[in-house]
Amino acid sequence: MVHSALIFMSDNDACNRLSIERNIMRWLVLLVLMVLATGVSAQDSANTPTLSMFRGDVERTGRFISPPLRSEPSRLWQIDLPQPVRTTIAVAHGLAFTGSEAGALIALDAATGAEVWSFQTGDTIVSTPFVDADGALYFGSADRSVYRLDAQTGELVWSFQTGDEVFSSPVVQDSVVYIGSRDGVLYMLDSETGNVINSYSVGGEIWSSPALDAENVYVGSRNGRVAAVNRATGELVWRVSLRGGVDATPALDLETGLMFVGDYDGDFHAIRMADGEIVWQTRFADAVYASAAIGEDMVVVNDFLGTLVAYEKETGEELWRADIGRIAYSSPSISLDPVSGDETVYALSEQGGLMYAFDGATGAELWRVVTGDAGDWRSSTPVIVDGVLYIGSNTDGVIAFG
């Protein structure tokens, strides 16, 4: 049963509140950017941030504060790899990090694409690296292991073996590494040593990546469960069972207290983070493998058939929809313009190897570009950093657009 909790107010009050909130957010964004700019060394100032992870932040919102790509971009550089890139590109410390199907974690110069170093694991890498401000890099491999490397040199610091393949992407906060495994366990590891601090078994394979708020870690599993686990104790807070398995990573919206996640059955859910109650849900024609992207007022997601839909976050009202083509495993991303506050949505599918950009307010298509030949299971998602978009391809390796 779907429960909804709506707050009623006059149209004028709602508009005034929305205008105030948007202005406050824009000023906060500008303030953060100015603070970050003053703290970057001359060596790094022309490069990239010092923190990077799957979906851009620990809440996994898929939103990036960056000048947008509103007109058709060109390829700034491209590096060919012998096999498809399944990971999302992590960009930090002047480097772009990618995994390969051949099991290599590769560091590239973010400005030129030149290879800086490579670290070999025992199997395919789907997990997107987490890179912290101190230059520690964490990721998982299908060889069942979680690794920590030095981001600048590629030197191994530690590795930890789970009970099965690791496709989940780690998130690290307060010296704890959170990551799932196909053995069905959510691991909480000491970031310095790799030792287990806590763990929780969800009872099904974990391909989903964990998301964090201040108290809990949230993750989905292929048995259709989404669980909230206390970060301090490792104990279950709540668990909800959906009709289909969950590969998608939960996207957390701290403003509304809602988590957004889709399942194999084609359902897309807004779940209250406090207690696991479903506030609203909608249904697609096919499975939702993609993780949602959260904007100021909207949440955007696509199904396997390539139907991309933007919903109002609190009510689930459809705002706009677009077609990106069939076989859509990849997740949409949003860039927030730090000056205007405008949002741009980026999404791609296997059909024609195309990537699209849409106006966040209207859903109008802005451009489309080819990112390589069509293929199967393109899971790399767009990353937008300082006006440059990075993407992994089935046939064209890693590409930077700008």
What residue segments make up the domains of the chain, in order of their start? 11-401
How is residue 114 annotated by DSSP? Answer: -
**What pLDDT was estimated at residue 23?**
46
**What pLDDT was estimated at residue 49?**
87
Q: What is the separation of C-alpha 274 from the centre of its chain, rounded to a whole number of angstroms?
A: 22
For residues 272 and 281, the answer to whether their CB atoms sit within 8 Å is no
Cα(147)–Cα(88) distance, integer angstroms: 17
In the chain, the amino acid numbered 354 is: L
Q: Which residues contact 118 (CB under 8 A, 6 or more apart)?
A: 104, 105, 106, 107, 154
**Residue 8, both tokens:** 């009623």
CATH superfamily of 11-401: YVTN repeat-like/Quinoprotein amine dehydrogenase (2.130.10.10)
The strand ranges marked E within 318-387 are 318-323, 333-336, 343-348, 354-359, 365-370, 383-385
Which residue is it, tokens 């390829």?
75
Cα(62)–Cα(89) distance, integer angstroms: 13
Which residue intervals of 8-53 are DSSP H helices?
11-38
pTM: 0.89
**Residue 242, both tokens:** 């959906």
Cα(164)–Cα(162) distance, integer angstroms: 6
For residues 305 and 260, the answer to whether their CB atoms sit within 8 Å is no
For residues 142 and 167, the answer to whether their CB atoms sit within 8 Å is yes
**What pLDDT was estimated at residue 40?**
33
Q: Tell me the longest C-alpha to C-alpha distance in the chain.
A: 60
Q: For 338, what's the count of Cα atoms within 13 Å in the CB-facing half-sphere?
A: 15
For residues 21 and 14, the answer to whether their CB atoms sit within 8 Å is no
How is residue 52 annotated by DSSP? Answer: B
**Residue 4, both tokens:** 């909804």
In terms of C-beta density within 10 A (0-12 exposed, 13-18 middle, 19 or more buried), how is residue 74 classed?
Answer: exposed
264-299 b/e with 16+ CB inside 10 Å = b? bbbbbbbbbbeebbbbbbbebebbbbbbbbbbbbbb
**Residue 268, both tokens:** 């897309």
For residues 329 and 248, the answer to whether their CB atoms sit within 8 Å is no
**What pLDDT was estimated at residue 394?**
81
CA-nearest of 76, 88, 85 to 395 is 85
How is residue 373 annotated by DSSP? Answer: S
For residues 215 and 231, the answer to whether their CB atoms sit within 8 Å is yes
How is residue 83 annotated by DSSP? Answer: S
**Residue 49, both tokens:** 């941030």
Per-residue pLDDT of the chain (402 residues; tens, 9 = 90+): 333 332 223 344 434 444 444 444 444 444 443 333 333 332 333 446 889 999 999 999 999 999 999 999 999 999 998 888 999 999 999 999 999 999 999 999 999 999 999 999 999 999 999 999 999 999 999 999 999 999 999 999 999 999 999 999 999 999 999 999 999 999 999 999 999 999 999 999 999 999 999 999 999 999 999 999 999 999 999 999 999 999 999 999 999 999 999 999 999 999 999 999 999 999 999 999 999 999 999 999 999 999 999 999 999 999 999 999 988 999 999 999 999 999 999 999 888 889 999 999 999 999 999 998 766 567 899 999 999 999 998 888 999 999
**Residue 53, both tokens:** 């992870």
For residues 398 and 81, the answer to whether their CB atoms sit within 8 Å is yes
